[in-house]
Structure 1
Amino acid sequence: MASTLDEKFAFEAEWYDPHACLIRKYQVLYYVTDNSVEIYDLKNRRQFLKRSKTEITLTDLYIGSTIAIHSRQFKVVAYGDDYTRRALSNKKERTLGIIKPDVCDKFDQILATIYDRGFRVTKMKMCQLSRAEAGDFYQEHGAKSFYNSLIQFMSSGPIIAFELIGDSAISNWRALIGPTDSATARSEAPTSLRARFGTDNTQNACHGSDSETSAARELEFFFPSKGPKRRSTACFQDCTLCVIKPHAVLAGNAGKIISEIKRTGFEITALQMYNMDRANAEEFLEIYKGVLQEYKGMVDEFVTGPCIAMELRAQNAPTAFREMCGPHDPEIARQLRPRTLRANFGKDKICNAVHCTDLPEDALLEVEYFFKILDQ
């Protein structure tokens, strides 16, 4: 067992080598004391990277996560030893959450609460279920009296499904959403989400998996590991693109940014969380190559963690949203446009909170890049 003075955790990870078109396997050792890592090539049995400091924290390391180390993206696929498995498996529990149709317009407030409570959102998508899909998801309730009304309700409008990871995530998420009956929630758990936003037993704001088995099945339903994905709600008309950048997502500011966007009158008609690989980030940002000296840093930022892409609709949406974002440099934004998104949530020219479409004629192309090309 590692000394607590220099505690380390081991993970198995994969890196796709684009030149050889191969998936290469590594062991990643993470040292808690200084956020450093060292990497070993498992096939060739040799050191791949000497111990080096990174910006990775232990919360970034869980099965299925993607981490960026010196501009390379590694996917964590397994625990590397029994010590790591025993120490972290309960702390990295995953569950499904759903924001139901009745409160989809309040998802910014719910998302802000989720981040405030310390949950990590690792997948998220706005989608519209058909009656058949809703019936498949709630198949265990097929013989119950409320089944038909539940299916009708869950297929009546957009929902937002998301994967949560955290310490005892299943029980903690169910505690946060509260009792099934919203009236009971208001008397027994008045600060819960169902007490705050729910109406009754069915229109009760949120859903949470009730066991590890249910969580696995329900996550696979919304985020299938193979086969067709759940279709998005993007409409590709009179729209523009907003991308909340990874640094703002990881800082827990996504809900606050979305609240500002909604307050200004934009309609969010599609939303999804993405973990972009370097090739996609370079392709999407190619228009800035040779134009902005920050191009490489912008690509690096896009691959450091999850981003949230949204299709926004409003009159003159591309121009209006660009105005709301403010100047590219947050320092200039704070001086000239202090109420803009970049002024309030940006750090520098690279970590400037949000990407927006610069030219109105590019708006549809950018929306299609995320919600058609990347969502295949």
Structure 2
Amino acid sequence: MDPLVRLAFEAEWLDPSSGVLWRYQLFFYPVTGEVEMFDIKNRRHFLKRIRCDGLAADQFFVSAKVTVFSRALVITAYGDEATRRAIEARVERTLVLILPEAVDHTGQILDALHYAEDGSPSGDGKAASSEGPLRVANLRMAALSPAQAAEFAAGAPDAEPLAAALRRGPVVVLEVVGSRASARCAAAISAGGVLRCSPSPEAAAREAAFLFGPGRAQAMRSGPDSGAPSSVAIIKPHLLRERREGQALAAIQDQFAVTALRLLRLDRGAAGEFLEAYRGPLPAGEWGAAVEELASGPCLAVQVAPRGALGGDAVERLRALCGPPDPEIGRALRPASLRARLGKSKALNGLHCTDLAEDAGLESSYIFGGAWDE
């Protein structure tokens, strides 16, 4: 079938309750935004063709993770030759390292990468490239030991300065996917010495395996053990779909030191477990909608600590920056708050943030403490 009409893949889903790995044929219909799934083992329809909001063709490629009705699927193979040709013609991967000196500007860098047009940001900074958007497929903050830095840099053309940079402090690692990703990233982030793009697709694959492979999140963990009072924000999936997570993160970085950062995907069970403490205070419908939104796609988790002279209670200050949970109330009372500026409804309000100081450690441990080591 014409890949413009239907894309075909094989995908897996690990059931967190039973530990069973399910395999599916997965079809995506780009024109209508519909998905269809077949259970390979049982040879039956698992999901009849139905529209699934929030999905786009550029999210589908081998090794990608896509969320279909709160179920996080890993794409393992192409389903037919036409799909393989169509996807590989437009998808290239590269790895961007935000070195220690630029980590505080990660939000601005994300925004620039999203709108990279033919190798440079567009004039107004908000016009999407004619080649299609660059998508951040994976992201995390990492602190490498001297030995890890040397191992990562070994064989790279810039091995010595790269290893030295990695030893200076935590870095932010982004795996970026899109048409001519390497060239567009290299041009869009040409800021001498503080950002680095993989020199080739082959190098990007090796470096991504080193930094994002199994067990790496804990081996190169940053942030949670810093000892500073902290709070947690989760930039919700709808902002990532709208490519506005960079705006939210930049506003957070204006006021806080970011001590941990990662892109993650929560299924419905994990999202409900994380938000369990909020079940009582919220009406049932609102709590359920919040869970559905958090499980609807990738989100960006941020741990923050007070910075410099600003000091103060991290939980209280972050809550003030985010504003009232209802964006409509925020626009009336706190129009400069993040939820007022970026939110649409109580569920699609841009961000979750820790509500009580006593919950900060629990939320940080849940998100950054190993449960989601991908």
SS, match of residue 14 in structure 2? strand
For 2:165 and 2:18, locate their aligned partners in 1 and report how far apart those are by CA, in whole Å. 50
SS, match of residue 140 in structure 1? coil
For 1:129 and 1:206, locate their aligned partners in 2 and report how far apart those are by CA, in whole Å. 16
Q: CA deviation at 1:341?
A: 0.5
For 2:105 and 2:90, locate their aligned partners in 1 and report how far apart those are by CA, in whole Å. 29
Partner of 1:2: 2
**Structure 2 residue identity aligned to 1:360:** A
User: 1:119-198, aligned counterparts within 5 Å?
Assistant: 119-141=134-156, 148-177=160-189, 193-194=190-191, 198=192
For 2:105 and 2:69, locate their aligned partners in 1 and report how far apart those are by CA, in whole Å. 38
Contact kept, 8 Å, 1:327 with 1:333, in 2: the verdict is: yes
Q: CA RMSD in A?
A: 2.1
Partner of 2:100: 101
For 1:207 and 1:346, locate their aligned partners in 2 and report how far apart those are by CA, in whole Å. 33
Partner of 1:221: 210
What do the CA deviations read for 1:40-79 (whole angstroms, capped 9, x no partner)? 1222222222211121221222223333333433222211
Contact kept, 8 Å, 1:249 with 1:306, in 2: the verdict is: yes
Q: 1:71 to 1:230 in 2, by over 3 A?
A: same
User: 1:11-90, aligned counterparts within 5 Å?
Assistant: 11-18=9-16, 20-55=18-53, 56-90=55-89
Partner of 1:185: none
For 2:194 and 2:70, locate their aligned partners in 1 and report how far apart those are by CA, in whole Å. 40
What do the CA deviations read for 1:306-334 (whole angstroms, capped 9, x no partner)? 11111111211111111111111111111
User: 1:104-115, aligned counterparts within 5 Å?
Assistant: 104-115=103-114
**TM-score, length of structure 2 as denominator length:** 0.86
**Structure 2 residue identity aligned to 1:355:** H
What do the CA deviations read for 1:338-368 (whole angstroms, capped 9, x no partner)? 0100000111111111111111111122112
SS, match of residue 252 in structure 1? coil
Q: Say which of 290, 303, 323 aligns to 1:311.
A: 303
**Structure 2 residue identity aligned to 1:22:** V
Identity of aligned residues (%): 37
Q: 1:369 to 1:211 in 2, by over 3 A?
A: same
For 1:274 and 1:168, locate their aligned partners in 2 and report how far apart those are by CA, in whole Å. 25
**TM-score, length of structure 1 as denominator length:** 0.86
Q: Say which of 235, 241, 262 aligns to 1:250.
A: 241
SS, match of residue 89 in structure 1? helix
Contact kept, 8 Å, 2:223 with 2:303, in 1: the verdict is: no
Contact kept, 8 Å, 1:10 with 1:29, in 2: the verdict is: yes
For 2:28 and 2:150, locate their aligned partners in 1 and report how far apart those are by CA, in whole Å. 44
Partner of 1:182: none
For 1:77 and 1:64, locate their aligned partners in 2 and report how far apart those are by CA, in whole Å. 6
Q: Could you list the runs of 5+ residues in structure 1 that have no partner in the other structure?
A: 178-192, 199-203
Once the two structures are overlaid, the 10-residue window that deviates more, 320-329 or 10-19, is: 10-19
Once the two structures are overlaid, the 10-residue window that deviates more, 217-226 or 67-76, is: 67-76
Partner of 1:180: none
Q: CA deviation at 1:213?
A: 1.6
Q: CA deviation at 1:229?
A: 4.0
Partner of 1:184: none
Partner of 1:353: 350
What do the CA deviations read for 1:291-310 (whole angstroms, capped 9, x no partner)? 42222221111122211111
Number of equivalenced pairs: 347
**Structure 2 residue identity aligned to 1:220:** A
Contact kept, 8 Å, 2:293 with 2:348, in 1: the verdict is: yes
Q: Say which of 270, 278, 285 aligns to 2:268.
A: 278
Contact kept, 8 Å, 1:223 with 1:230, in 2: the verdict is: no
Contact kept, 8 Å, 1:330 with 1:352, in 2: the verdict is: yes
For 1:72 and 1:287, locate their aligned partners in 2 and report how far apart those are by CA, in whole Å. 23
**Structure 1 residue identity aligned to 2:155:** E
What do the CA deviations read for 1:82-135 (whole angstroms, capped 9, x no partner)? 110000123222211101122222222211101122211121111222222221
SS, match of residue 52 in structure 1? strand
Contact kept, 8 Å, 1:342 with 1:354, in 2: the verdict is: yes
Partner of 2:124: none
Once the two structures are overlaid, the 10-residue window that deviates more, 316-325 or 16-25, is: 16-25
For 2:76 and 2:280, locate their aligned partners in 1 and report how far apart those are by CA, in whole Å. 36
Q: Could you list the runs of 5+ residues in structure 2 that have no partner in the other structure?
A: 117-132, 307-311
Larger radius of gyration: 1
What do the CA deviations read for 1:250-300 (whole angstroms, capped 9, x no partner)? 21112211221222x211122111112233211111112244222222111
Q: Say which of 325, 340, 352 aligns to 1:343.
A: 340
SS, match of residue 346 in structure 2? coil
Partner of 1:238: 229
Contact kept, 8 Å, 1:318 with 1:359, in 2: the verdict is: yes
SS, match of residue 21 in structure 1? coil
Q: 1:89 to 1:147 in 2, by over 3 A?
A: closer
Partner of 1:186: none
SS, match of residue 279 in structure 1? helix
For 1:138 and 1:73, locate their aligned partners in 2 and report how far apart those are by CA, in whole Å. 32
